[in-house]
């Protein structure tokens, strides 16, 4: 049996349409009469209001007061729509209309009047002459002027100070216009910026009218010129519906009038004006006039002369006072005097950023403001809380004040126009500016709706669901007003907070603020003088680079003009400012059109500063960057510069080889590009002090292992394809020398040996031929001319040296070492380590050489003598002609070779019995020797310090010069650059050399005693 059809009541239908109380809505509609009940257009407009119940309630009261309203609505649908829209948002303006139904014609105005018309209207409302702003008639309470009045009763009644008709007339006229503006606002006929500007204009003409009221009450009002300076949102023409109107008063006596008397008169005028706005009347008050932004705040005089203002600001003003003056604008009174005042203080405002700790003071002020938000309101405060309007305003103002002293285009009062100027000038990214503008607009709209409801000053989002529903619907969210509003609000708040912290605490701000005024923008003369003073060797060349980077009107040039004044100082802090600037120009030329590059440097100041340091320190880094400029992005954080695990690099290299399996050169080129990137990462981390020299050696060695493995795989694949037969042997690469010791430097070749083992059934001759072809191809691929640094494969440590076969079978190695191995070969094998190829074969080889390099009973006395003789001959014969033995890091006295031979001799003599010595690494061997009592710990420390110092110098030589070298250079300039790269101050070059000499002298003494037993 079918269920009976459900019958929906009128109340139910009204509830479904959006009324919270359908039954009450039904009753109120019935009370409006049958014409209203059947008026679907009226119902549509009610339902379209933010709060249909509130709109209907207010309409019911208005019709009760004036029944003709419904007929007016039918005759003018636009009036109905606009008025009901306001009724649904503002109970206070609804109350005003109910009290003053005669104001309805004002709502029919569609055009917002010009400022002059508004001023005339308000002055006429209070009975003042628009031409003189002097009182001429006593206004009636409804704003219609009546006959002449007397000063004692024009603004206040008698001597009691109670409001007179002028004040009531002012309030009625003001709210009529407020209602007019609100109708245009809720129907979307004007933008937020237009609404805020209209509110500020309305406030300024109300102040002018209030000043006219005060003039009627103050004797000798004509003896003084009084200017009212709007501050805050009033000054910026971005006022709220209800807000304190911040002002400052400045006065000057008329000619022949005593200044003290004039200031007393001006003070009474100011007090009267403030009272005319804030005093409570039957029509309420307008708003509070707040003069606390004046010099000395509440403790200072209400009115000062121009000279007194300027004297205070020049000597005593705090940072926040200049921030406040950013918004200063004449709004009432003597506008000529006001303009003079603003022009004078602006000169101080735009120099304020040069004050000591200016940026830090503004940041501290923001934190104090946030700290004073009541705990229970912090997460609902759209003005002062995290992610609120103040976050946007403080960030914009700070950027303006820092950059605006040299860029007049930033000198805007209003937040949105200033933000747009910052974006156009390249100080804020386009996306960031767009996000901030959208959030600011949303938050201000919410703020306006909150204040319109009761015409009360509030910035707290209510928790009540009905209030949230009204806000959501007022913003056009109809499906789920509460949910949509809350989600949108929180999203904007999170984004605002993120961008606030990004922009407001940007280190570039402190750097720019500290620049002298003459340096904030780069005129030719100022730049030349500064470049010479900073130590640029070629100021004219530097100027050419600067001109190339900053000329033009493009966004790129604008950002460069912001960056360069600061970066020039950072380049000057680097060892070679000229090279740094040249490198920056070269990198910028390659990346300048890339959207993220300059944005990264501007927004992430640490990147710009690190880049300046690297380019001004290292030709090696500059060269790598020029071939892969996109790698600048890795300078963003220490985490980006962290050495990547070998397994990760190996997987990436294998993938690169796999993508180009049929083109060996392309495959290895991709691997070499990976190596270049990782060399850059390691060099940047090294020069930034993020890793020490041991970690550098480990990183470079692991990277070389990965590169050799990828090249070997590629070569095997190529040879296999060429042979058109399966590869007949297993191959392994054995690292030797510094690579085997995981101590590679930036300039190191890869010392290796190739070993292979024919597969079962394969002919040894065929297998050896294939292995030799792979070894040669591996060497060729890694040494091909290319933009990427080559990796030279050096197999000179193999049996019989360069005269012996490049590749041997493991059986051949065994036979050779059993019969022919010399002491130096055993010593060289101390560094032997598997690095690429067949891991099992690599382990077999390492096991094969273990008895040779770690002899069970140690080496003989004859072998020790032979090793000592070989070392002495090397010192005498291999040191380059003309090299200073005290400054050669590898073969010089106390250098790398000395320390390494000490460690290796100890290993050869004792590692057979002491497993802790079985390591390929020099410092680990020395530490183990000290731990086992085979080396005095003090001697181990001396040797280690010398080895580390020499290794750092050797790497620094490559980084600074971009080419390999082993000796500390003789030319003073090169020596200075090297010392600076190692962290010595400009005047510390000789200290650097002396420190090295001292460390190596001490090490040599240990070598003489321990190695030579002298």
What does the angle CA 385 – CA 389 – CA 395 come to, to the nearest 5 degrees? 100
Taking the CB of residue 86, how many other CB atoms lie within 10 A of it? 28
Please name the residue ranges forming H helices in 409-523: 415-424, 430-454, 465-474, 481-504, 507-514
The DSSP 8-state label assigned to residue 460 in this structure reads B
Average pLDDT, integer, range 599-625: 87
CA atoms within 13 A on the CB side of 403: 33
Give the alpha-carbon dihedral of 853, 854, 860, 862, to 10 degrees. 20
d(CA 333, CA 229): 9
- Paired with 303 in beta bridges are 249
Q: Report the pLDDT value the prediction gives residue 394, as an integer from 0 to 100.
A: 87
DSSP output for 859-888 = --HHHHHHHHHHHHHHHHHTSPTT--TTTB
d(CA 979, CA 957): 10
Strand duo 807-809 + 750-758: pairing: parallel
Q: Report the pLDDT value the prediction gives residue 550, as an integer from 0 to 100.
A: 74
Q: Are 734 and 864 a contacting pair, CB within 8 Å?
A: no
DSSP output for 139-167 = BPTTS-B-S---HHHHSEETTTTEE-HHH
Backbone angles phi, psi at 162, to 5 degrees: -75, 150
* Tokens (6 digits) for 179: 């209602």
Higher pLDDT among residues 295 and 528, named by residue: 295
Backbone angles phi, psi at 330, to 5 degrees: -65, 130
d(CA 1005, CA 893): 9
For 205-255, the pLDDT digits (tens) are 999 999 999 999 998 999 999 999 999 999 999 999 998 999 999 999 999
Q: Is the pLDDT of residue 679 over 80?
A: yes
Query: Nearest Cα to 293, choosing from 364, 339, 244?
Result: 244
Q: Is the pLDDT of residue 1 over 60?
A: no
The answer to whether the Cα torsion of 964, 970, 974, 979 is positive or negative is: positive
In whole numbers, what is the pLDDT of the chain averaged over residues?
A: 88
Please name the residue ranges forming H helices in 38-164: 40-47, 52-65, 69-75, 77-87, 91-99, 104-107, 115-125, 151-154
d(CA 1014, CA 410): 76
pLDDT category of residue 990 using cuts at 50, 70 and 90: confident
* Tokens (6 digits) for 925: 């061997």
Query: Nearest Cα to 611, choosing from 653, 557, 574, 558?
Result: 574
Q: Are 548 and 511 a contacting pair, CB within 8 Å?
A: no
Average pLDDT, integer, range 386-413: 87
The helix/strand/coil state of 820 is coil
pTM of the model: 0.64
For 809-850, the pLDDT digits (tens) are 999 999 999 998 888 899 999 999 999 999 999 999 999 999
Please name the residue ranges forming H helices in 604-728: 605-615, 619-627, 646-659, 664-687, 693-723
The DSSP 8-state label assigned to residue 362 in this structure reads H
Location of structure tokens 């101050």: 985
* Tokens (6 digits) for 708: 């050799």
- Paired with 280 in beta bridges are none
Q: Are 894 and 1002 a contacting pair, CB within 8 Å?
A: yes
For 951-979, the pLDDT digits (tens) are 999 999 999 999 999 999 999 889 999 99
Measured in residues, the chain has a length of 1014
pLDDT category of residue 928 using cuts at 50, 70 and 90: very high
Taking the CB of residue 547, how many other CB atoms lie within 10 A of it? 12
Q: Report the pLDDT value the prediction gives residue 763, as an integer from 0 to 100.
A: 92
pLDDT category of residue 881 using cuts at 50, 70 and 90: confident
For 651-674, the pLDDT digits (tens) are 999 999 999 888 999 999 999 999
């Amino acid at each position: 049996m079918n269920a009976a059809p459900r019958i929906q009541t009128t109340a139910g239908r009204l509830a479904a349409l959006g009324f919270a109380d359908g039954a009450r809505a039904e009753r109120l509609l019935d009370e409006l009469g049958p014409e209203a009940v059947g008026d679907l257009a009226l119902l549509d407009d009610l339902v379209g209001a933010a709060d249909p119940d509130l709109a209907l309630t207010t309409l019911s009261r208005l019709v009760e007061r004036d029944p003709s309203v419904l007929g007016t609505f039918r005759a003018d649908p636009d009036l109905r729509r606009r008025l009901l829209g306001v009724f649904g948002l503002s109970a206070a303006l609804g109350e005003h209309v109910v009290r003053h139904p005669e104001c309805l014609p004002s709502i029919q105005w569609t055009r917002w009047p010009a400022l002059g018309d508004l001023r005339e209207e308000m002055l006429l409302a209070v009975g003042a002459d628009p031409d003189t702003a002097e009182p001429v008639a006593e206004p009636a309470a409804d704003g219609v002027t009546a006959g002449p009045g007397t000063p004692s009763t024009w603004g206040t009644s008698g001597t009691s100070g109670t409001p007179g008709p002028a004040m009531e007339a002012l309030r009625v006229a003001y709210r009529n216009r407020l209602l007019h503006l609100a109708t245009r606002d809720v129907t979307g006929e004007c933008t937020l910026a237009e609404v805020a500007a209209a509110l500020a204009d309305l406030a300024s003409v109300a102040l002018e009218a209030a000043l006219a009221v005060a003039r009627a009450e103050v004797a000798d009002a004509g003896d003084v010129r009084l200017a009212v300076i709007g501050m805050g949102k009033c000054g910026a023409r971005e006022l709220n519906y209800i807000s304190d109107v911040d002002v400052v008063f400045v006065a000057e006596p008329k000619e022949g009038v005593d200044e003290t008397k004039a200031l007393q008169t001006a003070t009474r005028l100011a007090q009267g004006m403030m009272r005319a706005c804030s005093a409570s009347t039957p029509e309420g008050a307008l708003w509070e006039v707040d003069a606390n932004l004046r010099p000395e705040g509440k403790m200072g005089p209400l009115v000062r002369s121009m000279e007194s203002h300027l004297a205070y600001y020049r000597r005593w003003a705090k940072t926040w006072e200049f921030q406040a003056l950013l918004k200063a604008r004449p709004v009432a009174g003597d506008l000529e005097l006001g303009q003079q005042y603003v022009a004078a203080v602006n000169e101080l405002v735009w120099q304020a950023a040069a004050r000591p700790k200016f940026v830090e003071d503004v940041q501290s002020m923001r934190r104090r403001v946030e700290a004073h938000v009541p705990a229970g309101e912090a997460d609902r405060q759209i003005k002062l809380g995290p992610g609120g309007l103040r976050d946007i305003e403080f960030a914009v103002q700070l950027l303006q004040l820092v950059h605006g002293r040299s860029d007049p285009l930033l000198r805007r009062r209003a937040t949105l126009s200033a933000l747009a100027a910052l974006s156009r000038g390249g100080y804020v990214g386009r996306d960031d500016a767009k996000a901030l503008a959208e959030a600011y607009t949303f938050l201000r709209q919410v703020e306006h709706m909150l204040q319109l409801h009761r015409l009360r000053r509030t910035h707290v989002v209510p928790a009540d669901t009905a209030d949230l529903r009204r806000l959501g619907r007022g913003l056009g969210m109809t499906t789920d007003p509460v949910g949509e509003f809350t989600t949108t609000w929180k999203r904007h708040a999170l984004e605002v907070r993120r961008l606030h912290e990004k922009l407001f605490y940007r280190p570039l701000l402190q750097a720019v603020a500290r620049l002298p005024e003459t340096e904030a923008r780069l005129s030719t003369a100022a730049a030349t003088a500064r470049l010479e003073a900073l130590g640029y060797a070629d100021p004219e060349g530097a100027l050419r680079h600067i001109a190339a980077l900053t000329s033009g009107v493009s966004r790129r040039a604008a950002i460069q003009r912001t960056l360069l004044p600061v970066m020039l100082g950072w380049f000057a802090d680097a060892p070679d400012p000229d090279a740094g600037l040249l490198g920056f120009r070269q990198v910028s030329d390659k990346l300048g059109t890339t959207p993220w590059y300059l944005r990264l440097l501007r927004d992430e100041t640490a990147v710009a500063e690190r880049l300046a340091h690297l380019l001004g320190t290292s030709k090696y880094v500059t060269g790598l960057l020029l071939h892969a400029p996109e790698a600048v992005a890795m300078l963003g954080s220490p985490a980006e510069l962290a050495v990547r695990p070998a397994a990760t690099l190996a997987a990436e290299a294998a993938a690169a080889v796999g993508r180009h399996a049929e083109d060996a050169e392309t495959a290895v080129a991709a691997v070499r590009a990976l190596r270049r990137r990782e060399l850059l990462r390691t060099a940047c981390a090294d020069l930034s002090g993020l890793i020490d020299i041991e970690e550098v050696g480990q990183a470079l060695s692991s990277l070389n292992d990965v590169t050799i493995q990828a090249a070997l795989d590629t070569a095997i694949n190529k040879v296999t394809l060429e042979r058109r037969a399966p590869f007949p042997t297993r191959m392994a690469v054995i690292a030797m020398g510094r690579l085997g010791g995981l101590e590679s430097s930036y300039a190191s070749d890869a010392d290796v040996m190739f070993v292979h083992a024919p597969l079962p059934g394969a002919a040894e001759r065929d297998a050896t031929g294939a292995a030799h072809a792979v070894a040669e191809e591996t060497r060729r691929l890694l040494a091909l001319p290319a933009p990427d640094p080559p990796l030279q494969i050096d197999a000179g440590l193999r049996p019989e040296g360069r005269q012996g076969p490049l590749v041997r079978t493991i059986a051949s190695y065994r036979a050779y070492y059993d019969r022919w191995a010399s002491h130096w070969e055993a010593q060289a094998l101390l560094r032997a380590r598997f690095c690429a190829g067949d891991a099992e074969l690599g382990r077999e080889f390492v096991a094969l050489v273990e008895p040779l390099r770690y002899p069970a009973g140690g080496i003989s006395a004859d072998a020790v003598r032979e090793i000592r003789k070989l070392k002495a001959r090397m010192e005498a014969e291999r040191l380059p002609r003309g090299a200073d033995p005290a400054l050669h890091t590898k073969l010089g006295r106390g250098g790398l070779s000395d320390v390494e031979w000490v460690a290796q001799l100890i290993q050869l003599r004792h590692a057979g019995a002491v497993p802790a010595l079985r390591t390929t690494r020099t410092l680990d061997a020395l530490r183990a020797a000290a731990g086992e009592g085979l080396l005095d710990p003090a001697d181990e420390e001396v040797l280690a310090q010398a080895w580390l110092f020499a290794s750092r110098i050797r790497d620094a030589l490559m980084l600074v010069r971009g080419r390999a070298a082993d000796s500390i250079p003789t030319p003073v300039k090169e020596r200075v650059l090297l010392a600076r790269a190692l962290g010595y101050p400009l005047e510390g070059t000789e200290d650097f050399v002396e420190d090295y000499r001292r460390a190596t002298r001490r090490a040599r003494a240990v070598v003489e005693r321990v190695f030579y037993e002298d």
